[in-house]
Structure 1
């Protein structure tokens, strides 16, 4: 009798975790982005795409190390409905950001978070690099602090592009 109760309790716990995982994902915050070239985007305008929001700085060695992989990821998945928004931190001098973006010919959306409001909206982001992967419905799939595991990131992107 006790084994049956424990099994039923365990099943209920597993079901509750599965429900929360599948149906109670955190929504990405409502933010507005303006690119260095003057284009605008928002959380709502990016729905329907799988989006990676990457917080970075030119003074961050980890950010500089991951940026070629970020570009390769963008190049691979952008034709399939993937978007990347690179958010330069408020302390990053705008001329450094502009020079880096121009020198590296970054193809994705780059914005300056001059007031820190975007970093604040995503949970007071302070450590760089930090990346947040968002699904087509605007739900946060995964948050990476530090350089992502790119094999895992690519798997998640592929799964969510197909969803």
Structure 2
């Protein structure tokens, strides 16, 4: 009887989890983020490893994704709140997104952080075959993945976690 109750509880938790954004946490050990290189809109190459020492949000997005467009002002606000404290944002446009659409979006919205084009899809592949947007990864100062968000994150909780990570050595 206990086994059935346990299975019903687990099934209920799984069912309720699908209604909210998926949040994965590296509880005891943090996995190293892949050291990808992406092309920024200005043509420069950006290696993720060059951002070590900072807390980084890597956000995979697309201009055609309504949730991505909806969350972008909060990503901008988050960046502005923490940028002077050792925080960086890297917005990576998916390979299927048109470069001129991405550039136009970044310009009209005044995105204050690095915007990259994943022209070949290698960055999305390196981060575990990212296909759904938005998908974001929060990295600690050592380049380890602390959390993965599929869908729009709870920005209050995200800000709290960023603050904790910035306080770490």
Give yes or no for TM over 0.5. yes
- TM-score, normalising length: structure 2: 0.82
Report the 3-state secondary structure (helix = DSSP H, G, I; strand = E; otherwise coil) of the residue aligned with 1:76.
helix
Q: Does 1:135 align with 2:140?
A: yes
Could you tell me which runs of 5 or more consecutive residues in structure 1 were left unpaired when the two chains were aligned.
1-19
Higher mean C-alpha displacement, 146-155 vs 33-42: 33-42
2:54 aligned residue (16, 41, 49): 49
Structure 2 residue 153 is matched with structure 1 residue 148: yes
Q: Give 3-state SS (helix, strand or coil) of 1:58's partner.
A: coil
Tell whether 2:165 aligns with 1:160: yes
Q: Identify the structure with bigger relative contact order (alpha carbons < 8 Å, sequence gap 6+).
A: 2
The structure number with the bigger radius of gyration is 1
Q: Which runs of no fewer than 5 residues in structure 2 stay unpaired?
A: 1-25
1:45-72 per-position Cα deviation (integer Å, ceiling 9, x unaligned) = 1100000000000000000000000000
What residue number does 1:29 align with? 34
Match for residue 119 of structure 1 among 103, 124, 130: 124
1:102-153 per-residue CA deviation (whole Å, 9 max, x = no partner) reads: 1111010000001000000000000000000000001100000000010111
**How many residue pairs align between the two structures?**
143
User: CA separation in 1, counterparts of 2:71 and 2:27?
Assistant: 29
Name the residue aligned to 2:7.
none
TM-score under structure 1 length normalisation: 0.85
